[in-house]
Structures are given as C-alpha cells and as structure tokens.
Chains A and B, each alone.
Chain A
Amino acid sequence: MMTDLTPAPRRAYIEVEELSVQFPTEDGLVRAVDGVTFAIDKGQTIAIVGESGSGKSVTAQAIMGLVNSRTADVTGHVWVDGQDIVGMTDDELRKMRGRTMAMIFQDPMSSLHPFYRIGAQLTEAVNVHNKVSKKEARDRAIEMLHKVGIPSPEKRIEDYPHQFSGGMRQRVMIAMALINSPSLLIADEPTTALDVTVQAQIMELILELQQEYNTAVVLITHDLGIVADAADQVAVMYGARVVESGVIDDIFYAPEMPYTLGLLASVPRLNQVRAERLDPIPGNPPSPIRLPSGCVFNPRCVYTDRVEGNLCATERPALLPTAPGHMVRCHMSKAEREAVATIALGALGRETT
C-alpha cells in the first residue's frame, strides 16, 4: 500500500471521482448523485446527458460548490486543477466561484437580478475577485458584452435585464460567467429556455469563447442534437449514476448500455419513415428516494433475461471500461451488449459496430 500521503498526480484538468450528493429529507434519504466519475481537460467539452431527475443538474451544482453543505451530504472528489472542491470551506469555495469556475443557467429570464443594471451586475462579478478601478471594471464589462455579440454595449450597459430579450440575456449571462476568464465553465441546459433559432447561436457563442479562453466546459443537456454538435465526451446519467461514458463516437456509434440505446432510439430523425413510430423507453424514471436495488435501470430494461440469475435486480454493476476511454455500467457481457445494440439500433438503420 502507498504510504505517501500526497495525492497522485492528476491526469486531467477536471476530475470528478465517485461524486455523491445526498439530501436527508423527512421522506428519506434522497440520492441525487451517486458515484459520478468523469474527467476532462482544458479546452474540452463533456456533455452530461440524462432525463429530468437523473441528477445532472445537482452534479453541476456540486462541482460549483453550490450545494449547501448544511442540507446535503457531498462525498467523493472534484479535482479542479489539482484542488479538491469537496471539503473546501465556504470561503475557499466562494473565491473559486466566478474566478476559476463559472456557471450559466437554464433560464436567462430569471437568472439576472431584475433590479440592477446589466453593467452593475457585470462589474460586480469583476470587483468581487479583482482589485480594479471602477473604470477598468466598466471597460471590462463593455468588452465582454461586445464579445458576446451585444450591439452598442457602452449603451446597453445602462439597461436593466427586462430591456433585453431572452437570447440577449443569455449572452449577458455568458459574458458574466466568462468575465474573469475561468478555466471551467458549467452550462446547465443553456439553450433549453430559448427559441430554437437562438439556441444554435448561443451554443456557437459558447464554443467560440471556449476556444478563445481554452475553457473546460461541462455541458448539461438532454438535447442529443446539441451533444453531437458541441461535445468531445459524453456521460450518460440515469438514476443519479453515470451509466455510460466515452468520447462522442463511442456514445453515438458504439453505445452498449441499454439505457443509452433507448435514449438514442427515442430521438426523431429526419430520414425516418413517417409511419415509423418513435421508440420510447417503457416505464418511468426512478424516484431518487427509492432507487431500485441492483442496476438502477433494471425495472425498465428489456434485456435483463440475458444476464444469468437475478443479478440485474440484486447487484449494482460497476462502471467498467469496455474499450479505451469508453465506460459502461451493465451486467451483460461485451458480446451480449454489442448484440443488443445491433438489435436496438440496427432497426433504425444506424451505423453500429
């Protein structure tokens, strides 16, 4: 056993290791996040995909240290540039938020303070982490607004949030998040609340600025289209756990976990024959208070008979590598998983390996 207490050198810029978040409530323990693991480098994007209640937003907030330590139990590690977020004091966390890591949220309409001018909200973000003059902070704010594509920023800086459209407000949120050039940006469904036409612009802007600042991006979404466009890596979450992760091609072209297969099969495609019905996953997502024993997906999985005994319902599968960088949480053998994938996705005329 190693006696050396210094942490082993980290491979990636962000490493999330066995991150768990539990909320004790009157109805029982809510396991919002249960052993989430992934890693990305600067300049890379990981998409965390999953349906509502799968724990993706709580994962994001835990990485930002926004989960209240008084109401929740956070365990595991979130290494950001070699520093573990979990176990930091409130003040240490606060100093990292907005400077090392920043976040943009789902609803730009309610994410800006309605009573303060855009300029004041932007300069506040500058001033909290930097000792700069009023003028410098203001210049920085104008520069950022310009960068996110807001016309005549030196005028708009005097406006209030209600004078901006939804897309423009999300641009302001992006400007605010990136104003201190953080190395990690967490985008929690940044386009969900926007018009379809604006969605693409906002994603493009995020990716463009990511290039410029060499930011690591954690993109929380349920939109597989956005994932395909934006992400380098994907982590699929279900029932508070990561059930499959890998580079984007692994997930889209060689998925192995039955939930991922179901997710891909339920996406409408333009080349699909119209009479063909979408293939929804039967059943409902599990309640975070009463997660199923064994594999969290087993009550909805149609392939449990391919596993010997009752393993799916009794034993929790581990997240294991199936190929370099491609991790799967499933009891089936690799051969079985590949066979199942061909059945599920072959019917859709999808390229499978």
Chain B
Amino acid sequence: MSAYVVRRVISMILLLLLLTFVVFILFSLLPTDPARLTCGKSCTPEIIEANRHRLGLDLPVFQQYWEYLKGIFVGRTFAKDSPDPVVCSAPCLGYSFKRGEEVFVLIKEGFPATFWLALGAFVMWLAAGISVGIYAALRRGKWQDKTVMGISLAGYSLPSFFLGLMAIFFIVIRLQLLPYPSYVSPFENPTQFLQTMILPWIVLAILYAAFYMRLTRNQMLEVLGEDYIRTARAKGLPERIVIRKHALRAGLTPIVTAAGLDLAGLLGGAIITESIFSLPGIGSLAVNSVNDADLPLIVGITLVTATFIIVANLIVDLLYAVIDPRVRLT
C-alpha cells in the first residue's frame, strides 16, 4: 500500500514535469510574439528587442524551459542586467508583465472565489443528486421516477450561461430578492458572501446534480438486483439499512470517481459561471488572460488546472481501495 503510494506520487511528479514541458513548448510554438505584446502602439523594433531580452525570450526554447522549471523551485529574476530587475519568487510560474504581478500570486488571489464556488456547488449537487437518484431508483417506473428523470434531463440540457443569466435577470433584477453579486471573503462578510454565492452555487449544482441523479439511479438499480441485497433482506434488516448500508456502499465507486474529477476540474475555474456572476476566480482570470493574450498567465493557469486533475486522479484511486476491499493497490 505505502509502496504503491510512493510509486504513484513519483509517477505523478514525472507526469507533472512532462506536463510543464508540453504546455511550455505548446505555447512557445504559438504564432503570437510575447515580446511584441509587451508594449502598445508606440512600439519600436528596438523596444521589442529590449523587452525580448528582458523576458529571456531571446534564449533558445529549451533554455527558456529550463529557466522556467528552475523558477518554479527557486524563483527567478527577469531583466537581471537592467536597472530595474523584476523578481519573481518561488514558486515562480512566470511573470505577467501585462498585470505587473507574478502569475502565482494572481492565481492565488483568484483561488478563494473559485474554491468556495466549487465546494458549495459540490456539496449541493452531491446531496441533491445522490438522494434524488436513490429516490428515483426506489420508485423505478413510477410517476415519481419519470418526473424526477424528466427534470434531471432538463437540468442537464440547460446551459449554465442560460440558467445563470435567467437567475440574475429574474431573481436579482426583476424580483430584487438578492443584491447584485459582489464577491467578498466569507470571513469578512458572511451574509454578503452567501448572498453572492447562492445563485452561482445553484446554477452550477443544477448542471452537475442532473448527471449525478442519473448516475446514482442507475448504480442503485444495478446494485439492488444483486444477490447480496437479497441476503441483507433475508437477514431481516430494515429496508433503510439495506439501502444505505448495503446498496449505496456498493454503488458508490463510480460516483466517487466522477465526484473527485469533477471537483478537481472545477477548482481550475468554472469559466462561465464565474464570468456571469463576476466572481474574481480562476475562471474569470483565465478568460481575461486569453482576452488580452497574457501568455505567462495562460500557461500558469493551464498548469495549475492540470495539476488539480492529476492530484485528484491519485486521490480517487486511493479512495477506491478504501471503498472496495477487493481492490489491491500494487
């Protein structure tokens, strides 16, 4: 078990290294010239060349990559030989000259909003999706099942920008039930935080809950037909224990996988939802960085997002062994 974890962590680190390489090379192959983007209309070829040198973009690609990699661990200084060098401390994921800030700091600033959005929605969709999924499975073929599944199909089909805009239009603008969303930290102003987050949570949760309802329902239907469920009933266990302890536990594995990966994906930013509700998260940051071609920032966000997914993958695999004793981690 521990040997497995060590091996998985090592391979994860190798994968992350490979990832940085691929992302870096990919972006260096773009036809956009980052040096050209450092100044506006007043650019002269001399300024561009000077900036190219300041950014270290005059070096060969592989050396650039090496500098970048080194920066992640020990930090780096741009424009060392100029009178005003720019220090980017470790972990340096690059420096956004557009925003005059380290990429890592920008992502760190955007993370709380993204984190709270993802976590809140995650809890909501899991609670709703799993409980409604079980309910539908227990009433398979009945009108309750059909109604719930119809609603879930609708929820699944509605794009989040539509739901989000409708929510803002009706609840915030027309009915004025909530103030216009404006993000604050939950530790600073919990009321305003909740007022801001409740709609994005619901919008995001509806989209995901629809999928989890179907997943849970199908899992439960499959498991409820298993022999060991009949055994549990033959023991004289109350039905609610048969469902919760025996059936749900057995049907949980794919739900855990999906949940882990979905949460990780969301931690990399819910682009549409964040944009609609103007939450200052990683998703909004990604949109803005693409809009003004802030390459270092785009690379940084891509790396961080991918890292979340890779780490989540490992956690999900480890959870497998916790859930299912037949899974041997070797």
Q: How far is the CB of A273 from chain B (nearest CB, A)?
A: 42
Task: Point out the residue from A64, A95, A114, A162 that lies within 8 Å of B234, measured CB to CB.
Answer: A64
- Complex: A114 Cα to B229 Cα, angstroms: 11
Interface readout for A91-133 with B: 1 if CB under 8 Å, 0 if not? 0001111110011010100111111010000001100110000
A110 in contact with B227 (CB, 8 Å): yes
Task: Point out the residue from A90, A95, A173 that lies within 8 Å of B231, measured CB to CB.
Answer: A173
B325 in contact with A162 (CB, 8 Å): yes
Q: List B contacts of A88 (CB < 8 A).
A: none
A111 in contact with B324 (CB, 8 Å): no
A97 in contact with B235 (CB, 8 Å): yes
Interface readout for B292-330 with A: 1 if CB under 8 Å, 0 if not? 000000000000000000000000000000011110000
Q: List B contacts of A103 (CB < 8 A).
A: 234
B249 adjacent to chain A (CB < 8 Å) = yes
Q: How far is the CB of A124 from chain B (nearest CB, A)?
A: 7
Task: Point out the residue from A64, A95, A98, A114 that lies within 8 Å of B325, measured CB to CB.
Answer: A114
Chain A residue nearest to B324 (CB atoms) is A115
5 closest residue pairs by CB, A with B: A98-B236, A97-B236, A110-B227, A98-B235, A113-B228
What is the interface of chain A, defined by CB distance below 8 A to chain B?
A: 64, 66, 90, 94-99, 102-103, 105, 107, 110-115, 117, 124-125, 128-129, 160, 162, 173, 176-177
What is the interface of chain B, defined by CB distance below 8 A to chain A?
A: 226-228, 230-239, 246, 249-250, 323-326
Q: How far is the CB of A182 from chain B (nearest CB, A)?
A: 10
- Complex: A129 Cα to B237 Cα, angstroms: 9
Chain A residue nearest to B236 (CB atoms) is A98
- Complex: A124 Cα to B237 Cα, angstroms: 8
B236 in contact with A111 (CB, 8 Å): no
Task: Point out the residue from A64, A96, A112 that lies within 8 Å of B228, measured CB to CB.
Answer: A112
B326 in contact with A111 (CB, 8 Å): no
- Complex: A176 Cα to B325 Cα, angstroms: 21
- Complex: A96 Cα to B236 Cα, angstroms: 7
Known A105-B227, A160-B325, A162-B325: A113·B234 in contact at CB below 8 Å: no
Pairs across A and B, CB under 8 Å, 10 listed: A66-B233, A98-B235, A105-B234, A110-B226, A110-B227, A112-B231, A113-B232, A115-B324, A125-B236, A177-B234
- Complex: A62 Cα to B101 Cα, angstroms: 73
Chain B residue nearest to A159 (CB atoms) is B325
- Complex: A107 Cα to B235 Cα, angstroms: 16
Q: List B contacts of A90 (CB < 8 A).
A: 239
Q: How far is the CB of B91 from chain A (nearest CB, A)?
A: 40
A114 in contact with B324 (CB, 8 Å): yes
Known A94-B236, A128-B235: A113·B250 in contact at CB below 8 Å: yes
Chain A residue nearest to B229 (CB atoms) is A113
A97 in contact with B250 (CB, 8 Å): no
Q: List B contacts of A98 (CB < 8 A).
A: 234-237
